[in-house]
């Protein structure tokens, strides 16, 4: 279980995840509240993940491009020394250049670099929808054998659709830093699955997506 995030330029910033070796911090647009399917942003995130169409995918890519530039400015990064790269799905050895994660990462890059072939690994069983025990997710990923290409940049931002325990980002960040010492690695995703009832019971916190600016709905919904 991760600690509660802080709001950073209208994003959720996680400085500690269940697994976060090599990762400076991870950011999401919001929460996908598993027990609040009627929540406006939860509904968007769920459609994107489990019932996507061109409109939903394009909306997510537009929003991620917008928040990525906010993140680069907010962290004070040099675009010329910053690289965006896609995370890898369970079945992938390398990122599918036509896949949705690569699409998000490509849109995020903007004036920064984009390196779709930065990461490679061995395929593994799917870690599921996000409700799996962290240790079981860890076991599924143990044999992935993440590797990184070398590059000339100071910062890497790994783009994914959702962050659960942080294990995927952690393995990727460790591989990147082993091959490229001194590199700072961040994660950026649409959302982190959480249970509203659990957060209320465990932390006495009424989690919501109220931190997301109303105009971001327009960015997502803008006609292509």
Q: Is the dihedral of CA 2, 105, 212, 13 positive or negative?
A: positive
Cβ neighbors of 170 (< 8 A, separation 6 or more) are: 17, 19, 20, 21, 22, 23
pLDDT of residue 131: 47
Helix (H) or strand (E) holding 161: strand 155-162
Q: What is the mean pLDDT of residues 43-64?
A: 95
Helix (H) or strand (E) holding 191: strand 184-194
CA–CA distance, 80 with 111 (Å, rounded to integer): 7
Q: Please give the model's pTM, rounded to 2 decimal places.
A: 0.92
pLDDT of residue 145: 83
Average pLDDT, the chain: 90
Q: Poorest-confidence range of 133-137, 143-147, 150-154, 194-198?
A: 133-137
Residue among 84, 83, 70 at smallest CA distance from 13: 70
Helix axes 134-141, 167-179, angle to 10 degrees: 40
Q: Does residue 89 carry a pLDDT above 90?
A: no
Cβ neighbors of 174 (< 8 A, separation 6 or more) are: 21, 22, 146
Q: Does residue 141 carry a pLDDT above 70?
A: no
Cα-Cα-Cα-Cα dihedral of 173, 177, 183, 185, to 10°? 0
CA–CA distance, 21 with 92 (Å, rounded to integer): 22
CA–CA distance, 103 with 77 (Å, rounded to integer): 22
Q: Poorest-confidence range of 20-24, 36-40, 163-167?
A: 163-167
| CB-based contact 224:55 (threshold 8 Å) | yes
Q: What is the mean pLDDT of residues 79-105?
A: 94
CATH of 8-203+211-217, one of 3.40.50, 1.10.530, 1.10.1740, 1.10.287: 3.40.50
């Amino acid at each position: 279980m991760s600690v509660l995030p802080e709001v950073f330029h209208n994003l959720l910033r996680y400085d500690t995840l269940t697994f976060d070796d090599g990762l400076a911090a991870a950011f999401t647009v919001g929460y996908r509240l598993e027990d609040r399917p009627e929540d406006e942003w939860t509904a968007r995130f769920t459609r994107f993940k489990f019932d996507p169409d061109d409109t939903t995918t394009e909306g997510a890519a537009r929003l991620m491009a917008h928040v990525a530039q906010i993140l680069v400015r907010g962290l004070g990064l040099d675009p010329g020394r910053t690289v965006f790269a896609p995370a890898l799905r369970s079945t992938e050895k390398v990122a599918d250049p036509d896949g949705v994660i690569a699409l998000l990462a490509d849109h995020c890059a903007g004036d920064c670099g984009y390196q779709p072939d930065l990461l490679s690994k061995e395929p593994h069983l799917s870690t599921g929808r996000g409700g799996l025990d962290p240790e079981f997710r860890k076991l599924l990923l143990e044999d992935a054998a993440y590797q990184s290409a070398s590059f000339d940049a100071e910062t890497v931002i790994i783009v994914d659709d959702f962050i659960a325990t942080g294990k995927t980002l952690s393995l990727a960040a460790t591989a990147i830093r082993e091959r490229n010492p001194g590199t700072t690695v961040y994660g950026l995703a649409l959302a982190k699955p959480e249970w509203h009832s659990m957060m209320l019971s465990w932390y006495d916190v009424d989690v919501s997506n109220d931190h997301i600016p109303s105009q971001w709905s327009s960015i997502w919904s803008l006609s292509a």
